[in-house]
Structure 1
Amino acid sequence: MRIISISDTHNKHQDLEIPDGNILIHCGDISEGGTKPEIVDFLQWFSKLPHKHKILIAGNHDFHLEKYSTNLDDIIPDNIHYLSDSGITLENFRIWGSPFTPGNGNWAFNLERGRSIRKKWNLIPQNTDILITHTPPYGILDESKTYKNIGCEELLKKIVDIKPKLHFFGHVHDDFGKKSIGPTLFVNNAVMDSKNRLINGVSVVDV
Protein backbone atom coordinates (compact mmCIF):
# COMPACT_ATOMS: atom_id res chain seq x y z
CA MET A 1 0.00 0.00 0.00
CA ARG A 2 1.24 3.47 -0.87
CA ILE A 3 0.58 6.46 1.39
CA ILE A 4 0.99 9.99 -0.01
CA SER A 5 1.32 12.71 2.60
CA ILE A 6 1.48 16.51 2.48
CA SER A 7 1.21 19.37 4.94
CA ASP A 8 1.36 23.17 5.18
CA THR A 9 0.14 23.91 1.67
CA HIS A 10 -1.12 27.37 2.74
CA ASN A 11 -3.43 27.95 -0.25
CA LYS A 12 -0.86 26.71 -2.80
CA HIS A 13 -2.36 23.25 -3.18
CA GLN A 14 -3.23 23.85 -6.84
CA ASP A 15 0.50 24.08 -7.64
CA LEU A 16 1.29 20.61 -6.30
CA GLU A 17 1.71 17.47 -8.36
CA ILE A 18 0.26 14.65 -6.27
CA PRO A 19 1.44 11.12 -7.16
CA ASP A 20 -0.88 8.13 -7.20
CA GLY A 21 -1.43 6.17 -4.01
CA ASN A 22 -3.98 4.32 -1.91
CA ILE A 23 -4.21 6.84 0.94
CA LEU A 24 -3.66 10.61 0.74
CA ILE A 25 -3.05 12.45 4.01
CA HIS A 26 -2.92 16.19 4.69
CA CYS A 27 -1.46 17.12 8.08
CA GLY A 28 -2.93 20.62 8.43
CA ASP A 29 -2.46 24.27 7.48
CA ILE A 30 -4.46 23.97 4.32
CA SER A 31 -5.04 27.75 4.44
CA GLU A 32 -3.12 30.91 5.26
CA GLY A 33 -5.70 33.18 6.88
CA GLY A 34 -8.07 30.42 7.91
CA THR A 35 -11.12 31.90 6.15
CA LYS A 36 -14.08 29.87 4.94
CA PRO A 37 -13.43 30.60 1.22
CA GLU A 38 -9.83 29.37 1.59
CA ILE A 39 -10.98 26.22 3.36
CA VAL A 40 -13.74 25.48 0.84
CA ASP A 41 -11.39 25.99 -2.11
CA PHE A 42 -8.98 23.45 -0.67
CA LEU A 43 -11.71 20.94 0.17
CA GLN A 44 -13.10 21.06 -3.37
CA TRP A 45 -9.63 20.41 -4.79
CA PHE A 46 -8.84 17.66 -2.27
CA SER A 47 -12.14 15.84 -2.82
CA LYS A 48 -11.53 15.60 -6.59
CA LEU A 49 -8.18 13.82 -6.27
CA PRO A 50 -8.38 10.16 -7.35
CA HIS A 51 -7.00 8.50 -4.23
CA LYS A 52 -9.25 5.85 -2.68
CA HIS A 53 -8.95 7.30 0.83
CA LYS A 54 -8.37 10.96 1.70
CA ILE A 55 -7.63 12.02 5.28
CA LEU A 56 -7.40 15.57 6.58
CA ILE A 57 -6.58 17.22 9.88
CA ALA A 58 -6.44 20.94 10.62
CA GLY A 59 -3.45 23.09 11.54
CA ASN A 60 -2.79 26.27 13.48
CA HIS A 61 -3.72 28.49 10.49
CA ASP A 62 -7.09 26.83 9.89
CA PHE A 63 -9.27 29.05 12.08
CA HIS A 64 -12.58 28.30 10.34
CA LEU A 65 -12.24 24.60 11.10
CA GLU A 66 -11.77 25.42 14.78
CA LYS A 67 -14.50 28.06 15.08
CA TYR A 68 -17.16 25.90 13.42
CA SER A 69 -15.83 22.52 14.58
CA THR A 70 -19.29 21.17 15.41
CA ASN A 71 -20.89 22.31 12.16
CA LEU A 72 -18.65 21.32 9.28
CA ASP A 73 -20.85 18.78 7.49
CA ASP A 74 -22.01 21.45 5.05
CA ILE A 75 -18.51 22.08 3.68
CA ILE A 76 -16.56 18.81 4.07
CA PRO A 77 -17.27 16.43 1.15
CA ASP A 78 -18.36 12.89 1.98
CA ASN A 79 -15.22 11.34 0.49
CA ILE A 80 -12.88 13.16 2.91
CA HIS A 81 -12.18 11.71 6.36
CA TYR A 82 -11.75 14.75 8.62
CA LEU A 83 -10.11 13.72 11.89
CA SER A 84 -10.09 15.94 14.97
CA ASP A 85 -9.19 13.94 18.07
CA SER A 86 -10.81 11.02 16.32
CA GLY A 87 -9.90 7.87 14.47
CA ILE A 88 -10.77 5.58 11.61
CA THR A 89 -9.69 2.15 10.38
CA LEU A 90 -8.66 1.95 6.72
CA GLU A 91 -6.97 -0.95 4.92
CA ASN A 92 -6.57 -2.66 8.33
CA PHE A 93 -4.63 0.30 9.73
CA ARG A 94 -5.92 2.03 12.88
CA ILE A 95 -5.48 5.75 12.24
CA TRP A 96 -5.81 8.67 14.68
CA GLY A 97 -5.67 12.40 13.88
CA SER A 98 -5.33 15.51 16.04
CA PRO A 99 -4.75 19.15 15.00
CA PHE A 100 -3.29 20.63 18.20
CA THR A 101 0.04 22.42 18.57
CA PRO A 102 1.76 23.89 21.64
CA GLY A 103 1.26 27.65 21.84
CA ASN A 104 -0.09 30.68 23.63
CA GLY A 105 -3.57 30.54 22.12
CA ASN A 106 -3.07 33.14 19.39
CA TRP A 107 -3.41 30.50 16.67
CA ALA A 108 -6.05 27.92 15.90
CA PHE A 109 -5.93 24.65 17.83
CA ASN A 110 -3.29 26.04 20.24
CA LEU A 111 -2.87 24.71 23.76
CA GLU A 112 -0.29 25.45 26.43
CA ARG A 113 2.54 22.98 26.86
CA GLY A 114 2.24 20.50 29.68
CA ARG A 115 -1.06 19.45 31.20
CA SER A 116 -3.38 21.24 28.73
CA ILE A 117 -2.06 19.62 25.59
CA ARG A 118 -1.32 16.33 27.35
CA LYS A 119 -5.09 15.82 27.72
CA LYS A 120 -5.38 15.71 23.92
CA TRP A 121 -2.59 13.17 23.50
CA ASN A 122 -4.11 10.99 26.22
CA LEU A 123 -7.05 10.47 23.85
CA ILE A 124 -4.84 8.61 21.36
CA PRO A 125 -5.68 4.88 21.52
CA GLN A 126 -2.94 2.51 22.61
CA ASN A 127 -3.33 0.37 19.47
CA THR A 128 -2.85 3.22 16.95
CA ASP A 129 -0.91 2.16 13.84
CA ILE A 130 -0.79 5.53 12.06
CA LEU A 131 -0.74 8.80 13.98
CA ILE A 132 -1.42 12.10 12.21
CA THR A 133 -0.75 15.38 14.03
CA HIS A 134 0.08 18.90 12.94
CA THR A 135 2.89 19.36 15.43
CA PRO A 136 6.01 17.20 15.46
CA PRO A 137 7.06 15.48 18.65
CA TYR A 138 9.85 17.29 20.47
CA GLY A 139 13.31 16.65 19.06
CA ILE A 140 12.21 14.79 15.92
CA LEU A 141 12.19 16.71 12.62
CA ASP A 142 11.12 19.83 14.55
CA GLU A 143 14.09 22.19 14.17
CA SER A 144 13.13 25.73 13.17
CA LYS A 145 15.88 28.07 12.05
CA THR A 146 14.42 30.73 14.34
CA TYR A 147 13.34 28.79 17.43
CA LYS A 148 15.27 25.49 17.21
CA ASN A 149 13.23 22.56 18.55
CA ILE A 150 9.57 23.52 18.70
CA GLY A 151 7.87 20.12 18.78
CA CYS A 152 5.72 18.88 21.65
CA GLU A 153 7.33 17.17 24.63
CA GLU A 154 4.07 15.59 25.77
CA LEU A 155 3.43 14.15 22.32
CA LEU A 156 6.86 12.54 22.35
CA LYS A 157 6.07 10.84 25.67
CA LYS A 158 2.84 9.45 24.22
CA ILE A 159 4.59 8.13 21.12
CA VAL A 160 7.24 6.39 23.23
CA ASP A 161 4.36 4.72 25.07
CA ILE A 162 2.14 3.63 22.16
CA LYS A 163 4.82 3.05 19.48
CA PRO A 164 2.84 3.68 16.27
CA LYS A 165 4.19 2.29 13.02
CA LEU A 166 3.94 5.69 11.28
CA HIS A 167 3.70 9.27 12.50
CA PHE A 168 2.85 11.94 9.93
CA PHE A 169 3.04 15.67 10.78
CA GLY A 170 4.14 19.08 9.46
CA HIS A 171 4.13 22.57 11.00
CA VAL A 172 7.93 23.04 10.90
CA HIS A 173 8.85 24.05 7.36
CA ASP A 174 12.59 23.84 8.00
CA ASP A 175 12.81 20.14 8.85
CA PHE A 176 11.09 18.25 6.03
CA GLY A 177 12.02 14.58 5.76
CA LYS A 178 11.80 11.08 7.24
CA LYS A 179 13.44 9.48 10.25
CA SER A 180 13.11 5.99 11.70
CA ILE A 181 13.45 5.65 15.47
CA GLY A 182 12.72 2.25 16.97
CA PRO A 183 9.49 0.85 15.51
CA THR A 184 8.22 4.23 14.26
CA LEU A 185 8.83 6.02 10.96
CA PHE A 186 8.44 9.77 11.48
CA VAL A 187 7.55 11.90 8.45
CA ASN A 188 7.58 15.71 8.38
CA ASN A 189 5.42 16.52 5.35
CA ALA A 190 5.67 20.33 5.19
CA VAL A 191 5.81 20.95 1.43
CA MET A 192 7.09 24.53 1.81
CA ASP A 193 10.48 25.67 3.00
CA SER A 194 11.00 28.48 5.52
CA LYS A 195 10.50 31.06 2.73
CA ASN A 196 7.15 29.50 1.76
CA ARG A 197 8.46 28.07 -1.50
CA LEU A 198 7.01 24.76 -2.69
CA ILE A 199 10.33 22.96 -2.91
CA ASN A 200 10.22 20.31 -0.18
CA GLY A 201 8.25 17.88 -2.28
CA VAL A 202 5.53 15.34 -1.53
CA SER A 203 6.18 12.41 0.81
CA VAL A 204 5.62 8.83 -0.30
CA VAL A 205 5.64 5.85 2.08
CA ASP A 206 5.13 2.25 0.99
CA VAL A 207 3.90 -0.13 3.68
Structure 2
Amino acid sequence: MLKQINKPAVLVPGNSESAEELVRACADWPSAIVLHGDGVTVAGIRFFGLGGGIPVTPFGAWSYDFTDEEAAEMLSRCDHCDVLVSHSPPLDAVDLSSNGRRLGSPAIRTAVETIRPQLVVCGHIHASSGKQAKIGATTVINAGPAGLMFELTTSF
Protein backbone atom coordinates (compact mmCIF):
# COMPACT_ATOMS: atom_id res chain seq x y z
CA MET A 1 0.00 0.00 0.00
CA LEU A 2 2.74 2.52 0.92
CA LYS A 3 4.56 1.98 -2.37
CA GLN A 4 1.56 3.57 -4.10
CA ILE A 5 2.55 6.91 -2.54
CA ASN A 6 4.40 8.73 -5.29
CA LYS A 7 5.56 11.74 -3.29
CA PRO A 8 8.89 11.57 -1.45
CA ALA A 9 8.55 9.88 1.94
CA VAL A 10 11.41 10.36 4.42
CA LEU A 11 11.77 7.46 6.87
CA VAL A 12 14.13 6.47 9.66
CA PRO A 13 14.44 3.07 11.30
CA GLY A 14 12.71 2.57 14.61
CA ASN A 15 14.08 0.40 17.37
CA SER A 16 12.43 -2.73 15.91
CA GLU A 17 14.32 -2.75 12.59
CA SER A 18 17.81 -1.80 11.50
CA ALA A 19 18.57 0.75 8.81
CA GLU A 20 19.53 -2.09 6.47
CA GLU A 21 16.25 -3.92 7.14
CA LEU A 22 14.25 -0.76 6.44
CA VAL A 23 16.14 -0.13 3.19
CA ARG A 24 15.36 -3.70 2.08
CA ALA A 25 11.69 -3.36 3.10
CA CYS A 26 11.40 -0.18 1.00
CA ALA A 27 13.20 -1.59 -2.06
CA ASP A 28 9.98 -1.66 -4.11
CA TRP A 29 8.87 1.81 -2.99
CA PRO A 30 10.60 4.25 -5.37
CA SER A 31 9.67 7.43 -3.47
CA ALA A 32 10.90 6.16 -0.07
CA ILE A 33 14.03 7.83 1.28
CA VAL A 34 15.60 6.04 4.26
CA LEU A 35 17.90 8.20 6.37
CA HIS A 36 20.10 7.17 9.26
CA GLY A 37 22.99 9.46 10.12
CA ASP A 38 22.67 11.30 6.83
CA GLY A 39 20.59 13.87 5.03
CA VAL A 40 18.88 14.73 1.77
CA THR A 41 17.33 17.79 0.15
CA VAL A 42 13.84 17.29 -1.27
CA ALA A 43 12.09 20.15 -3.08
CA GLY A 44 14.42 22.66 -1.44
CA ILE A 45 13.84 21.31 2.09
CA ARG A 46 16.88 19.84 3.86
CA PHE A 47 16.16 16.70 5.93
CA PHE A 48 18.48 14.85 8.29
CA GLY A 49 17.49 11.51 9.78
CA LEU A 50 18.53 9.40 12.74
CA GLY A 51 16.89 6.12 13.68
CA GLY A 52 17.00 3.67 16.56
CA GLY A 53 16.31 3.85 20.27
CA ILE A 54 18.42 6.61 21.86
CA PRO A 55 19.57 6.33 24.58
CA VAL A 56 19.85 2.54 24.76
CA THR A 57 16.52 0.98 25.76
CA PRO A 58 16.02 -1.78 28.36
CA PHE A 59 14.44 -4.03 25.70
CA GLY A 60 17.52 -6.16 25.06
CA ALA A 61 19.38 -7.39 22.02
CA TRP A 62 16.41 -7.28 19.63
CA SER A 63 16.15 -3.49 19.92
CA TYR A 64 18.09 -1.33 17.41
CA ASP A 65 19.65 1.09 19.91
CA PHE A 66 22.46 3.62 20.15
CA THR A 67 24.15 5.39 23.04
CA ASP A 68 23.92 9.16 23.29
CA GLU A 69 27.61 9.28 22.38
CA GLU A 70 26.97 7.32 19.17
CA ALA A 71 23.99 9.53 18.38
CA ALA A 72 26.03 12.69 18.96
CA GLU A 73 28.66 11.43 16.51
CA MET A 74 26.03 10.77 13.82
CA LEU A 75 24.32 14.10 14.48
CA SER A 76 27.66 15.90 14.16
CA ARG A 77 27.43 15.17 10.41
CA CYS A 78 24.54 17.66 10.23
CA ASP A 79 25.49 21.31 10.28
CA HIS A 80 22.12 22.45 8.94
CA CYS A 81 18.69 21.00 8.26
CA ASP A 82 15.16 22.30 8.02
CA VAL A 83 13.60 19.08 9.31
CA LEU A 84 15.19 16.57 11.69
CA VAL A 85 13.49 13.18 11.52
CA SER A 86 14.44 11.06 14.52
CA HIS A 87 12.89 7.91 15.90
CA SER A 88 13.74 9.02 19.45
CA PRO A 89 12.67 12.38 20.86
CA PRO A 90 14.92 15.04 22.35
CA LEU A 91 15.13 15.13 26.14
CA ASP A 92 12.33 17.13 27.79
CA ALA A 93 10.18 17.41 24.66
CA VAL A 94 7.38 14.94 23.80
CA ASP A 95 9.29 12.25 25.72
CA LEU A 96 7.09 11.64 28.78
CA SER A 97 6.49 7.93 29.40
CA SER A 98 3.30 6.43 30.80
CA ASN A 99 4.95 6.32 34.25
CA GLY A 100 5.96 9.99 34.13
CA ARG A 101 9.65 9.54 33.26
CA ARG A 102 11.46 11.67 30.69
CA LEU A 103 13.04 9.24 28.22
CA GLY A 104 14.36 11.52 25.48
CA SER A 105 17.91 11.83 24.26
CA PRO A 106 20.28 14.52 25.56
CA ALA A 107 22.30 14.22 22.32
CA ILE A 108 19.24 14.91 20.19
CA ARG A 109 18.29 17.83 22.44
CA THR A 110 21.77 19.33 22.07
CA ALA A 111 21.64 18.87 18.28
CA VAL A 112 18.25 20.61 18.08
CA GLU A 113 19.57 23.53 20.16
CA THR A 114 22.68 23.76 17.97
CA ILE A 115 21.27 23.12 14.48
CA ARG A 116 17.91 24.83 15.13
CA PRO A 117 15.79 23.04 12.52
CA GLN A 118 12.32 24.43 11.95
CA LEU A 119 10.73 21.05 12.67
CA VAL A 120 11.61 17.82 14.50
CA VAL A 121 9.44 14.77 13.85
CA CYS A 122 9.99 11.83 16.19
CA GLY A 123 8.19 8.94 17.82
CA HIS A 124 9.38 6.08 20.07
CA ILE A 125 7.65 7.21 23.28
CA HIS A 126 4.12 5.98 22.59
CA ALA A 127 2.63 7.71 25.65
CA SER A 128 3.54 11.08 24.10
CA SER A 129 2.06 10.25 20.69
CA GLY A 130 0.46 13.27 19.05
CA LYS A 131 2.09 15.72 21.46
CA GLN A 132 3.92 18.87 20.39
CA ALA A 133 6.53 21.00 22.11
CA LYS A 134 8.93 23.82 21.36
CA ILE A 135 12.69 23.97 21.78
CA GLY A 136 13.42 27.61 21.09
CA ALA A 137 11.79 28.32 17.73
CA THR A 138 11.82 24.63 16.74
CA THR A 139 8.52 22.73 16.74
CA VAL A 140 8.87 19.13 17.96
CA ILE A 141 6.10 16.64 17.10
CA ASN A 142 5.83 13.06 18.35
CA ALA A 143 4.10 11.29 15.46
CA GLY A 144 3.72 8.11 17.52
CA PRO A 145 2.98 4.63 16.21
CA ALA A 146 0.07 5.81 14.06
CA GLY A 147 2.38 8.20 12.23
CA LEU A 148 1.58 11.49 10.57
CA MET A 149 1.65 12.60 6.98
CA PHE A 150 3.02 16.07 6.27
CA GLU A 151 3.02 18.02 3.07
CA LEU A 152 5.78 20.57 3.51
CA THR A 153 6.50 23.66 1.48
CA THR A 154 9.59 25.81 1.53
CA SER A 155 7.57 28.51 3.30
CA PHE A 156 6.61 26.44 6.35
Deviation at 1:49, TM superposition (A): 2.7
**Structure 1 residue aligned with 2:66, among 103, 108, 111?**
111
Structure 2 residue aligned with 1:13: none
**What does 1:126-165 correspond to in 2, within 5 Å?**
126-146=79-99, 148-165=101-118
CA deviation string 1:111-149 (max 9, x = no partner): 223x233212222x2221100000000110100013611
- Identity within the alignment, %: 21
1:78 aligned residue: 30
Q: TM-score, normalised by structure 2?
A: 0.81
Does structure 2 retain, via aligned residues, the 8 Å contact 1:100–1:117? no
Name the structure with the higher strand share. 1
Task: Work out the CA distance in 1 between the residues paired with 2:4 and 2:49.
Answer: 22
Residue type of the partner of 1:174?
Answer: A
Gaps of 5+ in 1: 1-44, 193-200
Over the residues paired in the alignment, what is the CA RMSD in angstroms? 2.6
For these two proteins, the number of residue pairs brought into alignment is: 149
TM-score normalised to structure 1 length: 0.63
In the alignment, the residues of structure 2 paired with residue 122 and residue 142 of structure 1 have an alpha-carbon distance, to the nearest angstrom, of 22
Structure 2 residue aligned with 1:58: 13
Query: Which of 152-161 and 82-91 deviates more?
Result: 82-91
- The separation in 1 between residues aligned to 2:67 and 2:100, in whole angstroms, is 17
Partners of 1:54 and 1:203 in 2: how far apart? 9
**Offset at residue 191 of structure 1 (A):** 3.8
| Contact preservation (8 Å) 1:97, 1:131 | yes
The amino acid of 1:46's aligned partner reads L
Unaligned runs of 5+ in 2: none
Query: Structure 1 residues 143 and 107 mapped into 2: Cα distance closer, same or farther (>3 Å)?
Result: farther
